[in-house]
Amino acid sequence: MKKTKFKLPIFISILLLGLGCFFVGRKNGHCDFFKDILSRYPEENIAVNLIVDLTHDGNDDLLVISQDALEITLEVYTITDGKPVVIYKDSASDNHAGWRWYYLTVVDDKDYILQYTPEIWNGIGNYHLEVFSFDQKGQKEILETQKLPYDSIHISEDKKLDLLNKTENFKVIYEKWLACSTPLITIGSDPFTGHSVNYILKEKLPNTY
CB 52 within 8 A of CB 108: no
Residue 142 is predicted with a pLDDT of 97
The answer, yes or no, to whether residue 77 has pLDDT greater than 60, is yes
Percent of the chain with pLDDT over 70: 73
Gap between the Cα atoms of 166 and 49, Å rounded: 37
The answer, yes or no, to whether residue 3 has pLDDT greater than 60, is no
Structure confidence at residue 114 as a pLDDT band (50, 70, 90): very high
Q: b/e map of 189-205 (b: 16 or more CB within 10 Å)? A: ebbbeeeebbbbbeeeb
Alpha-carbon separation of residue 166 from 1, 47, 170 (angstroms) = 34, 36, 6
Bridge partners for 103 per DSSP: 114, 183
Residue 204 is predicted with a pLDDT of 52
Quote the pTM value: 0.76
Nearby residues of 173 by Cβ (< 8 Å), 6 or more positions away = 129, 144, 146
CA trace torsion 17, 188, 139, 202 (10° rounding): -30
Gap between the Cα atoms of 60 and 52, Å rounded: 6
